[in-house]
Amino acid sequence: MSGPPPDGVPVLEVSDLSVRIAGLHILQGVSFTVAPSGVTVLLGRNGVGKTTTLRAVLGLTPRGGEVRGTVRMGDRLLGGEPTHRLVRGGLGYVPEDRCVFAGLTVTENLRLAERRSGTPAYDRVFELFPELNRRGRQRAGSLSGGQQQMLAIGRVLLNDNRLLLVDEPTKGLAPKVVTEVAEVLERVAVAVPVLLVEQNLAVVRRLARDAVVLAAGRVAWAGDANELLREPELTRSLLGVGTVASSDGAEVVGP
C-alpha cells in the first residue's frame, strides 16, 4: 500500500466498504480515496468487484444486497441516501454498457439528464460531441456503440458534477473510437475528477494519475498509476497473467 493521493483533500473517501449480494461477499472491506483532480483508475481482473464498488457508491446495490462501511464525498456521508439525491449532489454516472434509452431520441436522452439546479451546459456537450447535435432527432438505439458512449458521457456533462464515475467506457469499441473516448475523458478530467474503471491498459496509461487495484474483494495495491505500469512484474502479479494484446493491438487486462 502506498500513501494517500498527493494533493489536497480527496473528493471521495471509501472506507471499509463491504458488499454482500445473494450470500456472496463481493467486496470485503475496500478502502481507497479519489484525488480531487485527474483520473483515478480502478483496476482488477474480471469479477473482482469494480462495478460493484461504483454501484455501491451510488446506492445502486440490488435489493437484498448488504452494504457496510462508509463513503464520504467531502463532508457528506453518502450511505443510505437514495441514488437520485446523491446524483443531484454532484455525482455523474456513466454506466457499463452505456445504458442510453434506446427508444428515446438523442435530444430526449439529453433533456432527461437536465437537472433543475443550474442551466444545462449544452454548448459544452456539443463542443465535445458535435455529432450529438447533428443527430438530435435520431433514436439512441440506432446509434453506433461509439456514438452511444458519447451520448452516455455527454448527458453527465450537461450538469456540473463534483465527481464522475465512469465504468468501462471503451468496452467493445473500435480502436479509433477508443482513442476518441480517451481524448474526451482526458479533456473532461481537467475540469472534474474521474473515478474510472478501465480494462484497456493503453487508455489507463494515457489517463490515470492514481490507481487502485482490487483483488479478491480487497484493495491489493494503491498509488501512482505510472509506478504500477512501469513495473511489468507488479502489473502481472496484480492484474493477471500479464497484459495481453487484444484484437486491436491494445493491451488489456487479461484473462
Judged by CB under 8 A, the chain residues 131 through 190 that form the site for another protein are 155, 159
SS3 181: helix
Binding to another protein by residue 126, rule CB under 8 A? no
Q: How far is the CB of 192 from another protein (least distance, A)?
A: 16
Question: What whole-number distance in Å separates Cα of residue 132 and Cα of residue 106?
Answer: 7
Judged by CB under 8 A, the chain residues 24 through 83 that form the site for another protein are 58, 60, 63, 82-83
Residue selected from 4, 65, 68, 108 as contacting another protein according to rule CB under 8 A: 108
Kindly provide the b/e burial profile for residues 216-244, where b requires at least 16 CB atoms within 10 angstroms of the residue's own CB.
ebebbbbbbbeebbeeeeebeebbbeebe
Q: How far is the CB of 95 from another protein (least distance, A)?
A: 7
Q: Give me the DSSP letters along 117-170.
A: SS---HHHHHHH-HHHHHTTTSBGGGS-HHHHHHHHHHHHHTS--SEEEEE-TT
Judged by CB under 8 A, the chain residues 74 through 103 that form the site for another protein are 82-85, 87-88, 93, 95, 99, 101-103
Contact 41, 203 (CB under 8 A): no
# residues contacting another protein (CB under 8 A)? 23
> Judged by CB, which is closer to another protein: 161, or 200?
161
> Judged by CB, which is closer to another protein: 162, or 205?
162
What percent of the residues of the chain are helix, what percent strand, and what percent coil, each to the nearest 5? Answer: 35, 30, 35
Binding to another protein by residue 221, rule CB under 8 A? no
Where along the sequence are the contacts to another protein (CB under 8 A)?
Answer: 58, 60, 63, 82-85, 87-88, 93, 95, 99, 101-104, 108, 111-113, 115, 155, 159
